[in-house]
Amino acid sequence: MPAEWAPQSAIMLTWPHADTDWREILSEVEPVFFDIARATLRFQHVLISCEDGHRANELALELNRYAADQQLPGRVCAWQAPADDTWARDHGPLAIESQDGLQLCDFRFNAWGGKFPHAKDNALNQVLASKGAFGRTPLMSVDFVLEGGSLESDGEGTFLTTSECLLAPSRNPSHDRTRIEKLLAETLGSERVLWLNHGYLAGDDTDSHIDTLARFCAPDHICYVRCDDEQDEHYGALAAMEEELQQFRRADNVTPYRLTPLPWPDPLFDADGERLPATYANFLIINGAVLVPVYGVPQDDEAVQILAGAFNDREIIPIPCRPLIAQHGSLHCVTMQLPAGVVSL
C-alpha cells in the first residue's frame, strides 16, 4: 500500500447533497468541497461522485472551466453514483502495488460499526468501477470491514493504526489482532503493524481513526496531536499515546521515529454544546502540496507553520474546515487519493 506522498493521479470526493445529514448546512459545507477541489486542481485531477446526475454535470462544467481559466494541470471527472454520506476516506478504495500492477481494494463499509445508514456508500466503489471511473485499474472486493482513515502506511511495509478501531467488535467480531495483521499482510502487503492503544477525540464517530491522531510525514517521521492542558478531558489519553509513539521503533527495531507534536486547537462546540473533533492531524498530502484543515482558532497559524517544516518540499495550503467538523469529520476524512495511473483525463 503506497504512502500518501507517493505520486497520485486524482483525489476522490463524494459530494454532499440534501438527502444527507448536511441538508441543514449544505450552503456552508459545499464551499469547503469547492476549496478542496480547486486547490487539488493545481496539482492533479479530481474525481467526483454525486447523487444527482445533473448536479454532477454542473460540477464538472464549473470546475473544469475554473481549471482552464487558471491554466491548471488538473481536470474534473464527475460521475452519478448514490451515496449516504460524504466520507470518501472511509468508503473509498484502497490502492496496492504488486507485481501485477496497480489494484484497488474495495473493503466492506458499515459506517463505523453500524452507527449510520451505509448501503449506498458500501456499494459506491463498485458503481464507479462499473462506469469506468477507475479506468483499467481492477477493483477487488475484500470481505472485511475496513476504513481508509483507520490505517497509515509508510510505503515500506509498516502500518500505523489504533486498537480501539480495528478491534471494535462492531466491525469484524471474529478477528483478533493476529488475524487482522494476517489479513492486512495478505491484502495490503503490510510487514508489521504498530498499534496505538491510547488516544481519542471527543465527538469522534470513528472509534479513534488514526488519521485524526497520528500521521506518517515520511518513513522515519510521525506527527501527532498533543494536548498540554491538564484540565482538558483529552490530556491523559493523548499523553499516554505520546508515550506509546516514543516507544515505537522503525523496522530495524532500533531506530526511534522522529516525532513532531501538532498544536491542540481551542475547543469547538455545536449548538447543543457537544464538543467537536477538530484536529490538525487530518491534513491531506497531494502531489505538490499539503492541504491543512484550519478552524478559525488561534492555533491555526502554528499548525500551518509546523506542517510547513515537516513538508518543506511541498506548498502548504490552509483549507477552512469549520463546517466539516459539524458532522464530526475534517479534510482528510472527505478525500481519498488515487495513485498515478488510475485516473487519466
Instruction: Judge whether 185 lies within some domain.
Output: yes
**Residues 294, 303: contact at Cβ < 8 Å?**
yes
- For residues 235 and 228, what is the distance between their CA atoms, to the nearest angstrom? 7
State pLDDT tens for residues 131-142.
Answer: 999 999 999 999
Tell me, what's the pLDDT at 282? 98
Q: Please calculate the CA angle 63-64-68 and round it to the nearest 5 degrees.
A: 120
Give 206's DSSP letter: S
Q: What is the CATH number of the domain that holds 196?
A: 3.75.10.10
Tell me, what's the pLDDT at 135? 95
Report the Cα 6 to chain-centroid distance in Å: 15
Tell me, what's the pLDDT at 259? 98
The two beta strands, 152-153 and 139-145, are unpaired
In whole angstroms, how far apart are CA 68 and each of 33, 39, 131, 227, 340? Answer: 19, 14, 25, 43, 21
State whether the Cα torsion 319-320-323-329 is positive or negative.
Answer: positive
Tell me, what's the pLDDT at 344? 85
Instruction: Judge whether 329 lies within some domain.
Output: yes
Instruction: Judge whether 1 lies within some domain.
Output: no
Instruction: Judge whether 198 lies within some domain.
Output: yes
Domain that holds residue 164: 8-339
Q: Which helix (H) or strand (E) holds 194?
A: strand 192-196
For the beta carbon of residue 23, count every other beta carbon within 10 angstroms: 10
Instruction: Judge whether 103 lies within some domain.
Output: yes
The model's pTM is 0.97
Q: Which helix (H) or strand (E) holds 158?
A: strand 158-162
Residue 333 in 3-state DSSP?
A: helix
Instruction: Name the domain count of the chain.
Output: 1
Tell me, what's the pLDDT at 345? 79
- Partners of residue 14 on adjacent β-strands: 49
Instruction: Judge whether 334 lies within some domain.
Output: yes
Closest to 7 measured CA to CA, from 344, 338, 345 = 338
State pLDDT tens for residues 207-227.
Answer: 999 999 999 999 999 999 999
Closest to 121 measured CA to CA, from 136, 106, 133, 135 = 106
Instruction: Judge whether 2 lies within some domain.
Output: no
- For residues 141 and 123, what is the distance between their CA atoms, to the nearest angstrom? 11
Give one DSSP letter per residue of 223-270, joined into a string. Answer: EEE----TTSTTHHHHHHHHHHHHH-B-TTSSPBPEEEEEP-PPP-B-
Instruction: Judge whether 345 lies within some domain.
Output: no
Residue ranges in the chain whose pLDDT is less than 50:
none
Q: Which residues of 305-340 are buried (b: 16+ CB within 10 A; e: fewer)?
A: ebbeebbeebebbbbebbbbbbbbbbbbbbbbbbbb
